[in-house]
Amino acid sequence: MLTDKQDAIGHMFYDYLTKAPVDEIIERDDGLVAMKYVRGRVLDVGAGAGRCALYLQDRGHEVVCIDNSPLALEVCRLRGLRNIKLVPFSKITPRLGVFDTVIMMGNNFGLFGSLEGAKELLQKLSRITSTRGRIVAETSEPGTGPMPLHGLIISWSQGRKW
């Protein structure tokens, strides 16, 4: 059983239920906190309810949320996110603007689908990211248990061929 000091998730749930301010920060046991790698203008792919986007917006980042769920984006709007777009990941275009960071949280790194899908979507991302563009992603493979690598940060140069 967890002690009160160890029960961070329980405190978060309880605070949310009692309307206290809540921030969820996922930190690995080695101290890695992925959001510290976010910089500049941010594209949140598959934003869902906007948990990460709201955190980053509150810290001064310009964030664009995309999702293919109109209702999820309505939740984002109701939560105060300013820039939401009903766009599936596979349909991103330069009309979204240029981004310094692309975040893909909640297993959204799996949206690439396949090696060929990853090549195609990484090409699209290279057209809408700055020369210092990076992806901050979270993923896991259901049913395989804990993975030795818990977080993933990818930086690339626009000139690179995928």
- What is the structure's pLDDT at 156? 44
18 Cβ contact list (under 8 Å, min separation 6) = none
- What is the structure's pLDDT at 141? 58
Query: Which has the closest alpha carbon to 125: 58, 43, 69, 62?
Result: 43
Q: Is residue 160 part of a domain?
A: no
**For the residues of 41-99, what is the DSSP string, one character each?**
SEEEET-TT-HHHHHHHHTT--EEEEES-HHHHHHHHHTT-S-EEE--GGG--GGG--E
pLDDT digits (tens, 9 = 90+) for 31-71: 556 788 899 999 999 998 888 899 999 999 999 999 999 99
Q: Is residue 3 part of a domain?
A: no
pLDDT digits (tens, 9 = 90+) for 94-135: 999 999 999 998 778 888 888 899 999 999 999 999 999 999
Q: Is residue 145 part of a domain?
A: yes
What's the CATH number where 50 sits? 3.40.50.150
Q: Is residue 97 part of a domain?
A: yes
Q: Is residue 61 part of a domain?
A: yes
- What is the structure's pLDDT at 19? 72
Q: Is residue 54 part of a domain?
A: yes
CA 53 to CA 81: how far, in whole Å? Answer: 7
State how many domains the chain has.
1
CA 46 to CA 89: how far, in whole Å? Answer: 7
Q: Which amino acid is at 159?
A: G
Domain interval for residue 123 = 28-155
The two three-digit tokens of residue 62, written as one number? 């310009």
CA 67 to CA 88: how far, in whole Å? Answer: 6
Q: Is residue 6 part of a domain?
A: no
Q: Is residue 14 part of a domain?
A: no
